[in-house]
A = this chain, B = another copy of it.
Amino acid sequence: MERPRHQGMAKNTYMRWRLPLVCLLWEVAMIILFGVFVRFGPEADAHWEEEKHEMNLTSDIENDFYFRYPSFQDVHVMIFVGFGFLMTFLKRYGFGAVGFNFLLAAFGIQWALLMQGWFHSFQNGKILIGVENLINADFCVGSVCVAFGAILGKTSPIQLLVMTLFQVTLFAVNEYILLNLLHVKDAGGSMTIHTFGAYFGLTVTRVLYRPNLEQSKDKQGSVYHSDLFAMIGTLYLWMYWPSFNSAISEHGDAQHRAAINTYCSLAACVLTTMAFSSMLQKKGKLDMVHIQNATLAGGVAVGTSAEMMLTPYGSLIVGFICGIVSTVGYVYLTPVLESRLHIQDTCGIHNLHGMPGLIGGIVGAITAAAATEDVYGKEGFIKAFDFTGSYKTRTPSVQGGFQAAGIFVSLLMAFAGGALVGAILKLPIWGDAADENCFEDGIYWEVPEDEESDVYHMHNPDKPASP
């Protein structure tokens, strides 16, 4: 049967006035809000030249820019190339994967600068931004990219922008509760980014359940080269994850340590992923879905504890476990989630971000609870957990308890927020595609007329290319 393409859609996916309107209005709002609130932080302001003297800084290299900018750029690559290309595995949704990820992230970082700024960088009525704010904005958007993975191919760009607006807001609230009220450590965001992002996205896709999605089942697979494009995303996420988990850690040993822990966890994760990918398949062959995703679970799962004294072998153990959990999830859990719970998780974010995020939160709680002055040193102990001011008397075991509480708060925010946002996205005004047109770029994109087929066949016997 010939597939219906570009025609006969049951739903109105016409974007011409809706998408521009949303984009332009929101960007104008950003400009106004930035105009009212956002200014350069002290280290990015031209006054720094004078402040340097006051602060007795002897060198420009003390500017936070030089501590964090390389990590920032790595994180930036993860958000735009990493997540973007990871999702190009679908045979006919590459434009949507890279392009919509680009759109939502570009909007999201602006809104995150504001939301996080109000909570964390607000002074005298102004949000003062520096390189650390840029990293945090990218982090926040990371959680939206995670959620995007669950609904990939099934939503219109407007829905994605609406989701981004709400999710960034909720992220900032959740982050504030965790970091400021619970005084929880979560440098690489196992809880704030991955757990929250994954269960938020899963709830959204549950609400948006499409019972007849198998109509586009043939488009949910990959082709040879789309799998290679996806590996670009995988590798950049994998390689730069040490930068991700160390990007906003304290200067010095904490950044150094976070990078090493993440490096170790990710390395171990690759081996167990390969092992279980082969083992769980009758023919014993490796599955690109696992290699593209489960190899990254180790990075997610040391997100909370990477800057702590997890130790290299501790990291190996975490990575070891997560490669297994994640791969097993792809093979056994994802089908069940769809058939029983009606959760259609396009990229399997539950396996890559959900479960590993939870593990990360738990590992963080345990590592914090097990901390001793002996292991960290007297000063290092205080610095690592910021046991100063009103937290001066907090003990490691109490800290562990608060860490655990952070997991539950994140889950709660994710479920409640996801349900709310899912309900909003269900309104029939956003231009999402009919079931049979899901996972198909042609709905929202001008797609080249695939003269590739000409090219490929120009040597065709009855049509000689070169006579």
Question: Which residues of A (397-425) have their CB < 8 Å from a CB of B?
Answer: none
Asked whether A60 and B252 contact (CB < 8 A) given A49-B377, A384-B46, A446-B288, the answer is yes
**A281 contacts the other chain (Cβ, under 8 Å)?**
yes
**A426 contacts the other chain (Cβ, under 8 Å)?**
no
**A340 contacts the other chain (Cβ, under 8 Å)?**
no
**A467 contacts the other chain (Cβ, under 8 Å)?**
yes
The docked-state distance in angstroms from the alpha carbon of A229 to that of B238 is 19
Asked whether A27 and B320 contact (CB < 8 A) given A380-B46, A457-B453, the answer is yes
- By a CB distance below 8 angstroms, the chain B residues around A259 are 65, 69, 131, 134
Which of B17, B26, B224, B461 contacts A447 (CB under 8 A)?
B224
Interchain nearest-CB distance for A390 vs B (Å): 21
Which of B81, B85, B222 contacts A239 (CB under 8 A)?
B81
**A43 contacts the other chain (Cβ, under 8 Å)?**
yes
Q: Are B455 and A466 in contact (CB under 8 A)?
A: no
The docked-state distance in angstroms from the alpha carbon of A36 to that of B13 is 60
- By a CB distance below 8 angstroms, the chain B residues around A24 are 271-272, 275
Question: Which residues of A (441-463) have their CB < 8 Å from a CB of B?
Answer: 444-463
The docked-state distance in angstroms from the alpha carbon of A223 to that of B455 is 10
Asked whether A228 and B268 contact (CB < 8 A) given A444-B285, A445-B286, the answer is no
Interchain nearest-CB distance for A365 vs B (Å): 18
Asked whether A5 and B458 contact (CB < 8 A) given A266-B106, A446-B281, the answer is yes
- By a CB distance below 8 angstroms, the chain B residues around A342 are none
- By a CB distance below 8 angstroms, the chain B residues around A317 are 31
**A130 contacts the other chain (Cβ, under 8 Å)?**
yes
Which of B50, B94, B291, B377 contacts A378 (CB under 8 A)?
B50
Q: Are B453 and A253 in contact (CB under 8 A)?
A: no
Q: Are A380 and B50 in contact (CB under 8 A)?
A: yes
**A211 contacts the other chain (Cβ, under 8 Å)?**
no
Q: Are B256 and A43 in contact (CB under 8 A)?
A: yes
**A62 contacts the other chain (Cβ, under 8 Å)?**
yes
| Chain A interfacial residues counted at CB < 8 A | 164
Q: Are A44 and B260 in contact (CB under 8 A)?
A: yes
Q: Are B224 and A450 in contact (CB under 8 A)?
A: yes
Question: Which residues of A (62-81) have their CB < 8 Å from a CB of B?
Answer: 62-67, 69-71, 73-74, 76-77, 80-81
Interchain nearest-CB distance for A47 vs B (Å): 4
- By a CB distance below 8 angstroms, the chain B residues around A281 are 16, 446
The docked-state distance in angstroms from the alpha carbon of A52 to that of B163 is 46
Asked whether A284 and B19 contact (CB < 8 A) given A50-B377, A256-B130, the answer is yes
Q: Are B288 and A445 in contact (CB under 8 A)?
A: yes
The docked-state distance in angstroms from the alpha carbon of A24 to that of B458 is 37
Interchain nearest-CB distance for A462 vs B (Å): 6
Which of B2, B81, B320 contacts A232 (CB under 8 A)?
B81
- Bitwise, A128-151 to B at CB < 8 A (1) or not (0) is 011100100000000000000000
A81's nearest neighbour on chain B, judged by CB, is B235
Q: Are A52 and B286 in contact (CB under 8 A)?
A: no
- By a CB distance below 8 angstroms, the chain B residues around A243 are 73
Most buried by B among A40, A80, A243: A40
**A7 contacts the other chain (Cβ, under 8 Å)?**
yes
**A39 contacts the other chain (Cβ, under 8 Å)?**
yes
Which of B91, B223, B240, B267 contacts A106 (CB under 8 A)?
B267
**A34 contacts the other chain (Cβ, under 8 Å)?**
yes
Q: Are B311 and A39 in contact (CB under 8 A)?
A: yes
Interchain nearest-CB distance for A407 vs B (Å): 24
- By a CB distance below 8 angstroms, the chain B residues around A320 are 27-28, 31
Asked whether A278 and B15 contact (CB < 8 A) given A52-B252, A375-B46, the answer is yes
- By a CB distance below 8 angstroms, the chain B residues around A238 are 80, 102
18 contacts between A and B (CB under 8 A): A20-B278, A21-B275, A31-B317, A44-B253, A46-B257, A46-B376, A46-B377, A52-B252, A61-B61, A63-B255, A81-B236, A92-B224, A106-B271, A224-B447, A225-B225, A228-B229, A286-B444, A450-B456
